[in-house]
Amino acid sequence: MTTPDHPARPSPAPGRRTGPAAVARTLVGVAVAAALVVWGLPWVSGVGWGEIGRVLRAVPPAHAIGFQALMLAALGGYAITLAASLPGLSWPRALVLNLAGSAVSKVAPGGGAVGLAATFGIARSWGHRTEAVATSALVTGVWNLLARIAVPLLALGLLWADGLGLPGSLVGPLRVTSIVLTVVLALLVAALASDRVARALRLAGVRRRTLAVVRARWPVLTLGLAIMLGIQWVLFHLVMRDVGVTLPLVPLFAGYAVGRLASAVGVTPGGIGLTEVATTGALVAWGADPAAASAGAVLFAVVTNLMEVPIGGLAWLWWAVDPTGARRGGIAGTDDATGDVSG
């Protein structure tokens, strides 16, 4: 691996600032998320937190540990996508980068902006150029958005094949969300296809590098996300069965898909609150027990979001002890941070 003479310290990503405005946006997002969880979830499900808590307390602790192991495996799948998006990044380092960046974004004032800055800082300390890291952020962003649209489309196809339809209460919100995400995706695709659009969106500088990465590595980019989403679906299924949601597989998968779509709406940090309300509303609309659906949505959120913080903290410490990786020759030696995507 090629490393700089003077390892870069974590610093804000280009074009990002973590000042008062960013902190204020994060605090508003946290407040909205808390309101949705505390009041929105009982309102949608029609049951109080007493009943939801009763269901959660019945989950065996050993199962919760197993759920967390599955989530870690899902993050390992996403590390494949992350490694493919940043030439020269090894899979172990991609896992550390993902865990540490996610943990910082969930606990630091400024949220995602600080998490992105941490990601830039860690990658730069390993010798990756700022331009390559920016390209990686754009590529993974596009692929994540594609996945969050593709999963609901697959769910719609399965519902149609099974002779089921969307409950009336879901048609409007899903239509609006899908339109917004499709417009965003269309703009990104247009920026990649057209120099003029790229300049208008201030993405001209990364367009060429992004196209090079996508053309050379799109199968691996897709494989990593498919592994992550597949494991998350298995986790969702097991969580829901554990709390007593007994829906058939197709509407259960549709509930999972609604949650993935809601998680892409950046109203709250990580979509927390909105995702749980949307998932619960969908499952209840398809006939799930309200208390069980609410408890399942909360438990799935805890496993997929909150537990990233301690694990990500360990990943951050692993990096901080030896930022350049000089003491970990086995892992450091697998990287080549030249940014070449020809192979």
Q: What is the mean pLDDT of residues 224-236?
A: 96
Provide, rounded to the nearest whole percent, the portion of the chain with pLDDT above 90. Answer: 37
Q: What is the pLDDT of residue 249?
A: 94
Residue 296 maps to a domain: yes
Distance CA 42, CA 283 (A): 14
Statement: residue 280 has pLDDT above 50: yes
Residue where the block lists tokens 């974590």 = 10
Q: How confident is the model at residue 1 (pLDDT cuts 50, 70, 90)?
A: very low
Nearest to residue 271, comparing CAs of 157, 102, 66, 98? 102
Instruction: Tell me which range, 194-208, 262-276, 296-310, 327-341, is most confidently predicted by mean pLDDT.
Output: 296-310
Residue 47 maps to a domain: yes
Distance CA 317, CA 323 (A): 10
Provide, rounded to the nearest whole percent, the portion of the chain with pLDDT above 70. Answer: 73
Predicted TM-score (pTM) of this structure? 0.80
Q: What is the pLDDT of residue 114?
A: 72
Residue 293 maps to a domain: yes
Cα 251 from chain centre:
23
Statement: residue 82 has pLDDT above 90: yes
Q: How confident is the model at residue 213 (pLDDT cuts 50, 70, 90)?
A: confident
Q: How does pLDDT run across 55-81, given as a tens digit for each residue?
A: 999 999 899 889 999 999 999 999 999
Q: Side chain identity at 29, as an amino acid letter?
A: G
Residue 295 maps to a domain: yes
Asked whether the beta carbons of 320 and 80 are under 8 A apart, the reply is: no
Quickly count: other Cβ atoms within 10 Å of residue 184's Cβ: 15
47 versus 273: the higher-pLDDT residue is 47
Residue 204 maps to a domain: yes
Among 118-127, 217-226, 256-265, which is the least confidently predicted range?
A: 256-265
Asked whether the beta carbons of 283 and 296 are under 8 A apart, the reply is: yes
Statement: residue 227 has pLDDT above 50: yes
Q: What is the pLDDT of residue 333?
A: 40
313 versus 56: the higher-pLDDT residue is 56
Q: What is the pLDDT of residue 34?
A: 86
Asked whether the beta carbons of 279 and 297 are under 8 A apart, the reply is: yes
DSSP state string for 151-169: HHHHHHHHHHHTT----HH
Q: What is the mean pLDDT of residues 36-56?
A: 93
Statement: residue 329 has pLDDT above 70: no
168 versus 277: the higher-pLDDT residue is 277
Q: What is the mean pLDDT of residues 10-38?
A: 66
Among 17-21, 62-66, 105-109, 217-221, which is the least confidently predicted range?
A: 17-21
Residue 237 neighbours by CB under 8 Å, 6+ apart: 249, 252, 256
Residue 7 maps to a domain: no
Angle at alpha carbon of residue 118, lines to 218 and 20, rounded to 5°: 120
Asked whether the beta carbons of 91 and 83 are under 8 A apart, the reply is: yes
Domain of residue 99 covers 20-322
Q: How confident is the model at residue 255 (pLDDT cuts 50, 70, 90)?
A: very high
Q: How confident is the model at residue 147 (pLDDT cuts 50, 70, 90)?
A: confident
Q: What is the pLDDT of residue 296?
A: 96
> Does an H or E element contain 336, and which?
none
Instruction: Tell me which range, 27-31, 82-86, 177-181, 195-199, is most confidently predicted by mean pLDDT.
Output: 82-86
Residue where the block lists tokens 């508003």 = 28
Residue 255 maps to a domain: yes
Distance CA 282, CA 169 (A): 8
Q: What is the pLDDT of residue 22?
A: 63
Backbone angles phi, psi at 45, to 5 degrees: -85, -25
Q: How confident is the model at residue 10 (pLDDT cuts 50, 70, 90)?
A: very low
pLDDT, averaged across the chain: 80
Statement: residue 107 has pLDDT above 70: no
User: Cα dist. 228→11, 75, 187, 313 in Å?
Assistant: 29, 6, 26, 21
Domain count, the chain: 1
Residue 209 maps to a domain: yes
Q: How confident is the model at residue 338 (pLDDT cuts 50, 70, 90)?
A: very low
Q: What is the pLDDT of residue 182?
A: 73
